[in-house]
Amino acid sequence: MKNSMERVMLQDSAENVHDIHLYAARGEYESFQIAVRANQSDTVVTDVQVSDLKAKGMSDRLLSQSNITLYREHYVNVTEPSPIWRGTTVKPLGKGWYPDGLIPFVDPQTGVDLVNAELDAVPFKLNQGSNQTIWVDIFVPRDATAGDYGGTYTVTSNLGQVSGKILLTVWNFELPQKPSLKSAFLSWEQHDKNTLIELLKHRVMPVANINPEDERELIDQWGLSALRLPFWSGADYRTCSMASAPTAAVIREEGLKHQLDLMLYVYATDEIDDCKGLREPLREWSKSIHQAGIKHLAVMAPVPEFYDLVDIWVVNPERYDTAGEKITEVLRQGKEIWFYTFFVLGGNVPNWQIDFQPINHRIAQGFINQSLGLTGFLYWRVDTWTDDPWNNVDTNPHPDKSEHYPGEGMLIYPGTQVGISGSIPSMRLKWIREGVEDYEYIEILKRGGYHDWAMKAVGEVAQDLHHWNQDPAVLNAVRRKLGAKNSSTISVKLITRKSSDGH
């Protein structure tokens, strides 16, 4: 058994650990892994099952199997690893076979068993001395009673069965359906509703061509909270040229097509920090956007001459460092700062390529964002696929560069090969979700009157983009401390309220 922050490589040695203890809030996904190894001979695994989780002392209450999703982890061969920059301690792990894609046992939307696809979850063959890991997601229903729930998993093979115990402690608090941490994850080509739902299940807001008729369902059932309007100026670091701004009336008309409880924004420019002569065009764009009652998002470091033009500044670590006090100034003005990442950056910052340790994909959303007062994050693309994405992850978005960035711009896999419509998550997307949930643990405490306590705990894990603990055990220990504090705080408030009501 492995927790979600451990990666099991094909040839890793076996550990004789059969049981696991998990902790989660209501409305949260918590994950673990079942690592299967063929020690003595080649093995064929025919089935993997996880039982209902039954509440201790309350036989009529359980978390049913319908809340549990199993995937077989799919190994991809990284033949061209990420570059290593001098002076950084955050380094890629090099060439090798990495688990990343996730092959579901059942269709995520219908619950029907998937069989006879190009890639099937089960059965599978294991060569002697090799591993295969199963990823398990448990979703804790919003009406679940706090307490301990127990169950089992069973692996069936041609050699017999192996079982282990699962203990899940459900804390007495709930994560909101709409994440407090804002986000924008661009899907350039995959716009089907199933892909949108998959991204929303992972607590990130899809940027795609969303059918307005689907918005109400996506909001109420899956937590959609923000939507990008389709206006683009054409200006980025290569063009440094902006088209004429649409009128406020045109932007307003587009905004009225969408649900009123969505945060609407225009993302019109990208990395124009070094461009000259864009002050007036940007001012015209901003004027139209604001007159339409829409937020203006810009991917660039804050500069004083544009302070009044932008509502959401999106910066990578380099831009954050360069901006210095300007970050503090715009935050004081009530503006937002989001972060983004791309390629491999030096300076000990987290990186999102396949060949980096799992904690890289989690740490920034929760602990680093909270440590710096950042309120969102953006990722430039989730569906950069090669001609054979399940086998070739050398996405190479800039072929003119000599470096390679395995998995860059690719957080989902196509569903066709596993027999579903839509897309399939990567393990990296799972870790990104855990970071968003970390942010929520901290945010709930801050809003509940425990700001200083929560921020002290944050400091045990991360101080800023360059100073953070790379040991996942430290992060997990602080997460448990945050969860226990949230749970006990809610319980005390409930008891106090009942006492004051005389009940």
Please indicate, yes or no, if residue 162 is contained in any of the structural domains. yes
Q: Which pair of tokens denotes residue 71?
A: 């995937």
SS3 of 256-315: the string is CCCCCCCEEEEEEEECCCCCCCCHHHHHHHHHHHHHCCCEEEEECCCCHHHCCCCCEEEE
How far is 159 from 44, CA to CA, in rounded Å?
8
Shared domain for 273 and 410, answered yes or no, is yes
| Residue 46 and residue 158 in contact, taking contact as beta carbons nearer than 8 Å | yes
Mean pLDDT of 457-470: 97
Confidence bin at 493 (pLDDT 50/70/90): low
275 φ/ψ angles, rounded to the nearest 5 degrees: -80, 145
Q: Three-state DSSP class for 468?
A: strand
Do 158 and 201 belong to one domain? no
Tens digit of each residue's pLDDT (9 = 90 or more) over 10-19:
999 878 889 9
Residues 215 and 139 in one domain: no
Helix then strand then coil, % of the chain, to nearest 5: 25, 30, 45
pLDDT digits (tens, 9 = 90+) for 13-59: 878 889 999 999 999 999 999 999 998 899 999 999 999 999 988 77
* Residues 150 and 217 reside in one and the same domain: no
pLDDT at 495 over 70: no
Mean pLDDT throughout 451-461? Answer: 98
DSSP reduced 3-state for 471: coil
The number of domains in the chain is: 2
pLDDT band (50, 70, 90) for residue 306: very high
pLDDT for 120 beyond 50: yes
Q: Could you tell me the pLDDT band of residue 234, with boundaries at 50, 70 and 90?
A: very high
What is the rounded distance in angstroms from the CA atom of residue 74 to the CA atom of residue 418? 11
Helices first, then strands: H and E counts in the chain: 10, 23
Structure confidence by residue, pLDDT tens digits, 378-407: 999 999 999 999 999 999 777 777 889 999
Q: Quick one: 241 and 157 in the same domain?
A: no
Query: What are the phi and psi torsion angles at 313 (to 5°)?
Result: -95, 130
Among 436, 470, 372, 448, CA closest to 173: 448
Domain boundary among 123, 153, 174: 174
Query: What is the pTM for the complete model shown?
Result: 0.95
Sign of CA dihedral 364, 367, 372, 375: positive
Domain membership flag for residue 480: no
pLDDT, position 15: 83
Instruction: Give the separation between CA 208 and CA 184, rounded to whole angstroms.
Output: 10
238 DSSP assignment: T
Rounded CA separation 481/454 (Å): 10
Instruction: Give yes or no for a contact between 31 and 135, defined as CB atoms under 8 angstroms apart.
Output: yes
Q: Residue 353: inside a domain, yes or no?
A: no
Read off the CATH number of the domain in which 10 is found. 2.60.40.10
Q: What percent of the chain has pLDDT over 70?
A: 97
Domain of 380 in residue numbering reads as: 182-346+370-424
- What integer pLDDT is reported at residue 397 of this predicted model? 73
For residues 140 and 267, membership in a common domain is answered with no
88 assigned to some structural domain: yes
Q: Are 368 and 359 in contact (CB under 8 A)?
A: no
Q: Are residues 253 and 315 in the same domain?
A: yes
Decide if 152 contacts 65 (C-beta within 8 A).
Answer: no
Averaged pLDDT of the chain: 95
CATH of the domain at 389: 3.20.20
User: Could you tell me if 169 and 237 lie in one domain?
Assistant: no
> How many angstroms separate the CA atoms of 187 and 129, rounded?
39
Q: What is the pLDDT of residues 173-209, one digit of tens each?
A: 999 999 999 999 999 999 999 999 999 999 999 999 9
Structural domain includes residue 203: yes
Report how far residue 246's alpha carbon sits from residue 231's, in angstroms, rounded to the nearest whole number.
Answer: 8
Annotate 108-124 with b (16+ C-beta within 10 A) or e (fewer): beeeeebeeeebbbbeb
Any domain includes 38:
yes
**Boundary-marking domain end, from 115, 145, 174:** 174
**pLDDT for the residue numbered 358:** 98
Res 494: pLDDT: 46
Whether 227 has a pLDDT exceeding 60, the answer reads yes
- Residues 148 and 211 occupy one common structural domain: no
Does 282 map to a domain? yes
CA–CA separation, 498 vs 257, rounded Å?
A: 45
pLDDT higher than threshold 80 for residue 333: yes
Identify whether residues 268 and 385 lie together within a single domain.
yes
What is the pLDDT averaged over residues 111-128? Answer: 92
pLDDT at 16 (0 to 100): 80
What average pLDDT score do residues 438-447 get?
A: 98
- Please answer whether residues 216 and 260 qualify as being in contact, where contact means their C-beta atoms are separated by less than 8 angstroms: no
User: Which of 174, 198, 220 delimits the end of a domain?
Assistant: 174
Q: Indicate the DSSP class of residue 197.
A: H
Strand, helix or coil for residue 499: helix
- Cβ-contact 121, 45 below 8 angstroms: no
Co-location of 190 and 163 in the same domain: no
- pLDDT score of 496 more than 60: no
383 and 283 share one domain: yes
Tell me whether residue 441 is in a domain.
no
